[in-house]
Structure 1
Amino acid sequence: MVWRRLRIFIVGIYLISVAAAAVVSLIDGSVKPLWLLAMWFPLVDMAPLPAREGVIAVMAAMLVMVSVAKSWMLWQVFSVPAGGDRPLGRRVVWLRRLLYLAVADALILSAALGTVLSEAVAGALHWLLWGVVQVLFVLVMVRASRGLRGAALALAGLNLVVGLPVMLEEIPADPNVMVFAETPWVEAAFVLLNLAAAGWQILILFAQRADGRWTPATVVVGWLALAQSVAHPIIPMMIARYVPGVTLDFIWLVGELLVFHTVWSARSAHELTAPPQPVVEVEPGGLSSRGRAAVALAVLAPLAVGVQAEEKARLTYGGGWEGRSPWIHGGRRFGDTKPQDREKAFLCHARDSTRGTPPMFPDTLPDQYVLAYGRRLCELPEGKDGMDILREAGSSREVWRADGEALVFLCPGTVAGRNPAELYSDAEVREAEERFVAEGNARCADPWPELRGRRQGTAAYYLFEGGGYSIYDVNDDPEDIAGEGGKVVTAARGSVHVSTVTENTMMCMTVKASNTAPPPPGKGWNHLGTVRVLSRSGSLGVPAMPEGGDTGAGRVLPDLALKGKGRYRVRVYARDLGDADRYNEDYVEEHLIVVFPDRSGG
């Protein structure tokens, strides 16, 4: 009676809350309360959809469906356990406890543990729990043949022996980097473990049917749970591929509808207390015909699901939501990619849809076709676009650009002939950048050695789009100053902005700090302007180019605030070193910056 009342109370309160949240969602246009009740975790932000009209109603309807499925799950979980006054064996007692623990894990524990434990540790605990459950499940069967029990125990042992090392495999610190690409054996091990788990459940369902303690309804739910485990990774992918405008929020909703495994675990635990049927001896020397059929199905069915046709579109390397690729999200280069992973890298690039443009090839195109089309693109002569090939492949791209960072993984020799840097590793890129900056610094020398500043320095300065640079208090927020009223040098508070003739190139820059105003430099220099600036923290300078940056000084230049906090005058000179072509790669402009204390008091 207590269990029945508890079940009615829990499910009733849940459904009433869902109904109220659904009404609120339709009134104020927000599904967050309904999402929390249906999904059991908060909706932080809904992904944008191409068309918003009707989206709230559709999502609310799906959330209600999820809630109904979960209310049925809760009704089953809190059902009155099948009773019996007979004593239960130790294995049965422990199996019931662990099955209920598995149910609690599915309902709430996994989410709670995820907040205090790492993903690897939480996954290992979950795998250990189910590994022990699988072993005990086999041991409590009273009508299973020795062959069936042996096969099921072997699969359970495989899950334990192989599964724990896989789950404890170190997960990268960067959550955007996919672990499978770092350790390919983990990917293969997961496939093996999923096949073993499916095979184990097939054997257990045959054993449950013959045992007599479990009702036919429980066995049916078990088969639905098995179908769920096969369909779960496939259904979201199919929805994402064939339903236009679908978002990750809707994909999560579909996954939450699959509650059969939790219900099967709960019903299996409830009915373990039922009296077993009399043991039927199996003829020695082999399996019964039913046992042989069970073992054959346990072996062949997972293989039929796991091993697919060569021409079928593979979903492993999808570009948008499926996983975090180290080549797309981690920026891994050709030089850091193992030879056996190059085709995988190309497929990631070819299916990438995260950069605001359609993928190079449609997601429905099989991997083999994508690789073949990619190699045809590699064979195109330089300067010829590949739009004909992309249109033939069904691409939705309207324009094609020579995407060397993708094709390099298929035809490195061809791409290297056009741009050798595409073959570099990250370390080689850094070395090349450091070498380029060092060469630029070496080309610049002090243009006014006669004036010895208290602090001084010379460096190449690398200009970005639009040119110009700033001198500011590096310990303060720089002011965003643009050239005003045609002035080349402008200032406000702690920041000075200097416009330049050139852009997207380098120029030479020398800075000097003196205690007094120096005389003007020699012939050939143009005085661009003198401005006042305030150093509020006692620092003033030109910023160096950060690692991986594209603008700034090629080396660290000295602090120009000789007297610490206070006002300074900044005087800027420039001279032309040749044809002032704004797009000339050789430096044609040189600047001289002199800073000294402002003693005017104004």
Structure 2
Amino acid sequence: MYRSAASAYLVITLGSIILSLVIGTATPAWLVTMWYPPGEIVGKSPLVPVLGGLLLLGLVNSWMLWQVLRGPAPAAVPMRRAATWLRLLLYADVMWLLIPSFLPDLVETVIGLALWVPALVLLTVVLTGSGRPFRLVLLLLGLVEPARSLVSDLVDDSKPQLFVSPAYWATVMAAGVATFVVMVMLLLAQRRDGRWSRVTLLIGLGTFASAFLVELVDSLTRGSTIESIAEAMDVLYIVWLARTAHELNREPRRKAALRVPAAVAAVPAVLLLMVVGPEGRPHLTYTWQSDELMECWAPSEPPRVADTPAHERDRAYMCSVSKPSRHVSDQELLGRGRDACTRFAAGEPVNARPALLALLCPEVIGRKYPDLLLSSAQIGQRQTEKEKIEREQLKREARKEDALCRDPWPALRTRSQATASYYDWDSQPYAIYDAEGDTEEDYAAIWDAGSVDTLATSGQLALIFTPSQDWATCVTAKALRSAPPLLRRRGWDQVVEADIVSESGHLVMQALSASKVRFPDLARRGPGRYRLRLYTRPGVDLILIYPAGRAALSG
């Protein structure tokens, strides 16, 4: 039956390849071999190479199905309960790895661990020929990677911060080493146990070569269709699990020492040398290229050299100049930058931004652009000092303007009055309002009214709109205990009146001048309704505020 299933799958694969050639798209073959819909990058890749890779993947998948669907071997001896459960868990793990899943990452991790961790525990129980210390170390090391995976998914929201943490990378490296050691120990334990065939052990060893092959293809074809196909061919681990479960029914016996053919043993070493490369072109221990989304996130502005530790400046430069849509090696990026530094030092024109080159050659860039060597704290301090100087300058100018303002009605004296200059650069009104009242609704009511006159009031708020002009308006406000005598209209463009309410008994004028002239409390009689009379002409506003009563305007 398993031979028929594998043969049928191979026939379907060949049919999908032919169909893809006929219709001119790799979608049918991709769905049959990869088991998920293709992305946009597949349609942009040449059709024939993609179909060639998918055909090879179809052959690999057929062989894998033939291995997986065989089921357990006939029992040579009665199986212990632990071995029975181990076989069930191994087959369940194989099925879980084969079936495409669209569940959240955390759910997938939990299901995967629920299948593998009990299987690992049962393996340490079932395996014979290995001492108790060996099996204990195997179990402890085998739990490292599951624990790391679970913690990584639980703190998924904090990954952008974890990526730059040395502790995070140390943990990842330690988990990777532990996984490697666990696989080696499992293969050694299987050889000592004697139940598993040499082919099964060689397939287990082949998982290392398979991983190196995927890394090699990944480094050569980052982000391409071939990379996805190569990753899908990494099925030796699944086959090893299936064969481990298949041969679990055999009788344990000591086997001869495992002898790996020289050609097979040479494959991992050759692949490792190909990945690392020759000494003249070493891979850096840091890179801007990563599978993680936020691993090398570059801000809109390059980091300042003074804020970046010396050992991180090369990588910060690469992150700032790299383009994810175009593959450029670390060495090429650094080579271009250092060449630009040399030309900059020689006085030749360069296209690179000095702020970026400062990360590679601060001593060269600093001669012409010393500000680029300052830290963010120093820049912030400079900006603070500059703003302070500007504020002091505005205060001095405002005091001069205030000194030029005069009381337009000096005969009407009151202890509660003040005069200050007001600039109306943005055509914004100034306000009188209740100091303790909520004036948001009053403000909205004035603006929603449509046309706004020189004086607009609503509830506990009054807005005075002076004409936009290029000079200061001298504003005088006087708070009176009773209605003042009438002032003739002659000499004034407008005289308007309106009511304003003060529930707290504190009416205040907003700060008008940069000199911070303080106006007194304009509600002389405490809580209640007040009358606000405004006299205005170009450059001068006179405001009289007094308790509401009968008051009329005269000509």
TM-score greater than 0.5 by the shorter chain: yes
**CA gap 1:74/1:180 in 2 versus in 1, 3 angstroms:** farther
- Cα distance in 1 for partners of 2:109, 2:285 equals 21
Distance in 2 between the 1:429 and 1:122 partners?
47
Matched, 1:140 2:109: no
Residues 18 and 38, structure 1, Cα contact 8 Å, conserved in 2: yes
Which residue is equivalent to 2:283?
Answer: 314
Q: CA deviation at 1:95?
A: 2.3
2:237 to 255, 261, 266: 261
Deviations 1:507-561, CA, capped at 9 Å, x for gaps: xxxxxx854799997799xxxxxxxxxxxxxxxxxxxxxxxxxxxxxxxxxxxxx
Asked whether the 8 Å contact 2:6–2:62 carries over to 1, the reply is yes
Pick from 23, 31, 48: which aligns with 1:28? Answer: 23
Residue type matched to 2:347 in 1? K
User: Deviations 1:415-461 (Å, cap 9, x if unpaired)?
Assistant: 5662636866699889969x98x979x99x9xx9799999659xxxx
What SS does structure 1 have at the residue aligned with 2:90? helix
Q: Which residue of 2 aligns with 1:333?
A: 303
AA at the equivalent of 2:63: W
Match of 1:96 among 87, 111, 114: 87
CA displacement 1:312-332 (0-9 Å, x = unmatched): 522664546654455445557
Q: 1:42 aligns with which of 26, 37, 44?
A: 37
Q: TM-score, normalised by structure 2?
A: 0.58
Equivalent pair of 1:228/1:258 in contact (CA under 8 Å)? yes
Going from structure 1 to structure 2, the CA distance change for 1:127 and 1:426 (only over 3 Å counts) comes to: farther
Q: Give matches, 1:456-475, under 5 Å.
A: none
Q: Provide closer, same or farther for how the CA distance between residues 309 and 27 of structure 1 changes in structure 2, counting only shifts above 3 A.
A: closer
For 1:142 and 1:157, locate their aligned partners in 2 and report how far apart those are by CA, in whole Å: 18
In structure 1, how many angstroms separate the alpha carbons of the residues matched to 2:119 and 2:56?
31
Residue in structure 2 matching 1:227, options 209, 228, 242:
209
CA gap of 1:234–1:354, structure 2 versus 1, over 3 A, is: same
2:382 and 2:96 mapped to 1: Cα distance?
50
Equivalent position of 1:270 in the other structure: 246
Change (3 A) 1:339 1:138: farther
Aligned equivalents of 1:260, 1:14: Cα separation in 2: 18
Contact 1:32 1:42 in 2 (8 A): yes
Q: Out of 352, 366, 375, which is 1:402 matched to?
A: 352
Name stretches of at least 5 consecutive residues in structure 2 with no aligned partner: 260-264, 398-420, 431-449, 455-464, 472-555
- CA drift of 1:410 comes to 3.9
Decide which moves more: 40-49 or 332-341.
332-341
* Amino acid in the other structure paired with 2:39: V
Alignment of 1:197-212 (within 5 A): 197-212=179-194
Deviation at 1:159, TM superposition (A): 3.8
Q: Which residue of 2 aligns with 1:187?
A: 169
3-state SS of 2:215 partner: coil
* AA matched with 2:94: V
- Closer, same or farther: CA 289–213 of 1 in aligned 2, 3 Å: closer
Distance 2:286 2:43 in 1: 23
Provide the residue aligned with 2:224 in structure 1: 248
- 2:211 and 2:170 mapped to 1: Cα distance? 18
* Structure 1 residue matching 2:103: 3-state secondary structure: helix
Q: Provide the aligned C-alpha RMSD in A.
A: 5.0
Quote the Cα distance in structure 2 between the aligned partners of 1:202 and 1:131. 17
- Counterpart CA distance in 2 for 1:197 and 1:104 is 21
Contact persistence 2:427–2:467 (CA under 8 A): no
Distance 1:188 1:27, change over 3 A: same
Match of 1:116 in 2: 104
Task: Give the structure 1 partner of residue 347 of structure 2.
Answer: 384
Deviation at 1:134, TM superposition (A): 3.8
Figure out how many residues of one structure are paired with residues of the other and give that number. Answer: 406
Are 2:43 and 1:80 aligned?
no
When normalised by structure 1's length, the TM-score is 0.54
| Alpha-carbon shift at residue 187 of structure 1 (Å) | 1.9
Q: Secondary structure at the match of 1:232?
A: helix
Query: Which residue type is aligned with residue 143 of structure 1?
Result: G
**Hey, what's the Cα distance between the residues in 1 that align with 2:324 and 2:59?**
35
Deviation at 1:69, TM superposition (A): 0.9
For residues 261 and 270 of structure 1, the distance between their equivalents in structure 2, rounded to whole angstroms, comes to 14
Contact persistence 1:155–1:197 (CA under 8 A): no
Structure 1 residues 309 and 12: CA distance shift in structure 2, 3 A: closer
Instruction: Judge conservation of contact 2:318–2:330 (CA < 8 Å) in 1.
Output: no
Matches within 5 A, 1:274-313: 274-277=250-253, 313=282
Distance change in 2, residues 1:96/1:150 (3 Å): same
SS at the partner of 1:333?
Answer: coil
Unaligned regions of 5+ residues in structure 1, if any?
A: 241-246, 281-287, 292-296, 387-399, 458-512, 525-602
- Indicate if the aligned counterparts of 1:152 and 1:200 stay in contact, CA closer than 8 A: no
Task: Give the residue type in structure 2 aligned to 1:354.
Answer: P
For the pair 1:213 / 2:195, whether they are aligned, the reply is: yes
